[in-house]
Amino acid sequence: MATAIPEVPTTSEPTPEKVAAAKRPYPGALVVVEGIDGSGKSTQLYLLKRWLEISGYRIHFTEWNSSPLVKSATRRGKQRRLLTPVTFSLLHAADFADRCERQILPLLHGGYLVLADRYIYTAFARDAARGCSPKWLRNLYSFAPIPDITFYFRAPLDVAVNRIVAGRPKLKYYEAGMDLGISLDRSESFRIFQERILNNYDQMVETDNFVLMDGTVRVNKLQKLMREIVGERINLGQFAPKKKKDEAKQ
């Protein structure tokens, strides 16, 4: 049975995230996409990235679990099935810290628009689904800069799971949550694990100022909306090539 998509919460009071955004110590901006596997987030961020690149904007793309410093250790741990929930979480935190220090923060200070496919909220949702303490996770990532926009792509559980299962010859051990002993059936374990992650994401919509996006909407329509929101909330002119900046001043 499909899960209903909740309404976007509204409030007249400024959230802590908005207050922090107004006092950022750097000229750049950070746009993040989050959501369970199969929600459509990566496709939408790729389309946004290509649109900005073609237009000549100064951007940088980063994705979860991609630091060369940590990637090999994570891969070996997965292959040997040695990762406990806490060690898995710490490896991801080390990966993020490395990318944050070497890529994200320097480029934000350098005046770039940084696009992130998954951010700290992935850890808050996924690692908590593995049993890690939410409070511990928040403290672990407390050094991370707050995004200017966090798009949360939400698709009903069955839709998202079917998209992944249809496109994968076989679900990987940790991807399916087999380390948790939820079910001996890999597909069923994956579904239960994703449901836990989805519930954790839903709880962050209001507290972390997510922009809720319906992952069942047509790709082109969703991309149009995403571009409109980015244009409304971020001054893209500051990331434009010099020629466009000069034209805008005239």
> What would the pLDDT profile of 27-37 be if each residue is shown by its tens digit?
999 999 999 99
Structure tokens at 18: 């908005």
Query: What is the domain partition of the chain in residue ranges?
Result: 26-243
> Residues 124, 134: contact at Cβ < 8 Å?
yes
User: Hey, what are 44's tokens?
Assistant: 């939408």
Q: For residues 126 and 118, what is the distance between their CA atoms, to the nearest angstrom?
A: 11
Q: Which residues pair with 211 in a beta bridge?
A: 151
Q: Quick one: 78 exposed, middle or buried, by C-beta within 10 A (0-12, 13-18, 19+)?
A: middle
Tokens found for residue 32: 């993040």
**Token reading at 138:** 């928040």
Residues 129-167 have pLDDT tens digits of 999 999 999 999 999 999 999 999 999 999 999 999 888
Categorize the per-residue pLDDT at 177 as very low, low, confident or very high, splitting at 50, 70 and 90. Answer: very high
Tell me the mean pLDDT in the region 95-105.
96
Write down the CATH number for the domain with range 26-243: 3.40.50.300
Q: What is the pLDDT of residues 77-91, one digit of tens each?
A: 999 999 999 999 999
Could you tell me the pLDDT band of residue 211, with boundaries at 50, 70 and 90? very high
72 or 104, which is more confident = 104
Mean pLDDT of 101-124: 97
pTM of the model: 0.86
* Residue 12: pLDDT over 50: no
- Quote the Cα angle for 38-43-46, to 5°: 150
Q: What is the mean pLDDT of the chain?
A: 88
Burial of 75 (0-12, 13-18, 19+ CB in 10 A): exposed
| Length, in residues, of the chain | 250
